[in-house]
Structure 1
Amino acid sequence: MGWTTAIEALSQLDLIAVSCFLAVWLGISWFIENPPKRRPSTSQLMAQYRRIWMREFVTREPRIFDSQIIASLRQGTSFFASASMIAIGGGFALLGNADRLRGVAQDLTTGAADPVVVWELKLILMLVLAANAFLKFVWSHRLFGYCSILMAAVPNDPNDPIAMPRAMKAGEVNITAAKAYNRGLRSVYFGIASAAWLGGPIALMVATAFTLAVILRREFASISRAVLLEVSDSTVS
């Protein structure tokens, strides 16, 4: 059965739900990374603090604390990359037993009467998100490695003319690594939401709306964001 036939097997409501899901997933990432100037996202605020970190790093002695932070960040990306690999493996195992999965769901959802190919498409969507998360986490892990090398290349003498420029390079690479990491996390969030499609298109739309609300709150209305915006900290502009 070809892809065209498989897509034709989806109901109109399924197509609407998946279209909304993909639009929200891609759109929220763009919005978080390109927010209104008057309302920066938490990720954007943290990017400024990463630059400040690198400026302070130049004059900090010893620099053990900075190396520990980088090691911790790389450990986090490594953990999520490993978890994504496990999810991909589980997804492929389910994909090979889509017919059995449909049988299990038969008494739980009205969509259980759908052809097996529809259930395979639902699992493929989850796999795509898990694979995307894995790639983002691996790239983030590698970028944090680049950042650590750039930090090691910063001269111990803070008055050295190349010290600050190299530290700023490390800061920008650090910010890029954080972007990849956050994109990976959003793929995880929406990957979990995509599992709701197993319960039908309505469940997928509800899960999409809930996930969107959670992410928007964390990026634009969280307590942590309010702390970052406190005017008492005049260092960040």
Structure 2
Amino acid sequence: MMDITTLFLLLSWPDILAAGFAVLCWGAVGWHVEHPRQSRPSVNRLMRQYRREWMLNNIDRSPRVHDATLLGSLRDGTAFFASACLIAIGGALALIGNTDRLDRVAEELMMGPTPSILWEVKILLPLLLITNAFMKFVWSHRVFGYCSVMMGAIPNEASNPEARRRALMAAELNIEAARSYNRGLRSVYFALGALGWLIGPVALVLTTVVTGGTIWYREFASSSRRLLMEGKLPEDSLREIGESAE
């Protein structure tokens, strides 16, 4: 049986450094998205206030079918990704047990012979990220369920002293569920990027940089963020609204 020391001897230093770089980027990007500078908030941070306003508006809205539908769609999304992650985990485990196909692909790409144990290690990185994503999606789905219960406990009368407090409690549960959901998505993104390791350490670094850059752009430079920051519709949308009114 191969111990951990022998395994590290088989891995080249570029492989070790590339894998460490991928894990470091995954953690750093996640931390930066969740703890941005006050002067440059992320989409994740900007959405928190809208979630609070949603729950506060829920106090005097009757019936609350619209709110239940919105929350149900959020839970459906987490359930879908959790199921997809389970399928991906099963596929990765099956591939770990049968690396012959990867050997044939490597031969066709003229990458040279690779020990089976190295293929298994390279598959292990995206497998761990997908497993983490599955755990995050499952927890997000459950917390959205807590949020739905708390929404049902919000009194309909705005004058009730418990109404605002419970609405804000529901908002914090909603924010916590969304945070876990976003962490799961980031793990899925980086798991896809980690597949570049099958080609080599340079490919892993490149796919990690592309993945991190894509997440950064969506959180800090996308048109969605500009819309949330400015709080106004784009000129094209305003023009379409004016044309439809005419």
**Cα distance in structure 1, aligned partners of 2:84 and 2:25:** 24
**Cα distance in structure 2, aligned partners of 1:156 and 1:26:** 42
**Cα distance in structure 2, aligned partners of 1:25 and 1:212:** 8
- Structure 2's unaligned 5+ residue stretches are 234-246
Change (3 A) 1:103 1:174: same
The one-letter amino acid of 2:175's match is: I
The one-letter amino acid of 1:141's match is: H
Larger Rg: 2
Partner of 1:222: 222
- Residue 104 of structure 1 pairs with residue 98 of structure 2: no
Once the 2 structures are TM-superposed, how far is the Cα of residue 6 of structure 1 from its aligned partner? 1.3
**Cα distance in structure 2, aligned partners of 1:51 and 1:186:** 23
Change (3 A) 1:167 1:151: same
Partner secondary structure for residue 155 of structure 2: coil
Partner of 1:142: 142
Partner of 2:8: 7
After TM superposition, the structure 1 stretch with the greater mean CA deviation from structure 2, 189-198 or 155-164, is 155-164
Once the 2 structures are TM-superposed, how far is the Cα of residue 105 of structure 1 from its aligned partner? 2.0
Partner of 1:129: 129
Partner of 1:184: 184
The one-letter amino acid of 2:218's match is: R
Deviations 1:33-62 (A, max 9, x none): 000110000000001110111111112122
**Cα distance in structure 1, aligned partners of 2:6 and 2:198:** 20
Given that 1:109 and 1:199 are in contact with CA atoms closer than 8 Å, whether structure 2 keeps it comes out as no
Partner of 1:159: 159
- Structure 1's unaligned 5+ residue stretches are none
**Cα distance in structure 2, aligned partners of 1:47 and 1:5:** 48
**Cα distance in structure 2, aligned partners of 1:189 and 1:165:** 36
**Cα distance in structure 2, aligned partners of 1:229 and 1:27:** 24
- How many residues end up aligned between the 2 structures? 232
Q: CA RMSD in A?
A: 1.3
Once the 2 structures are TM-superposed, how far is the Cα of residue 7 of structure 1 from its aligned partner? 2.1
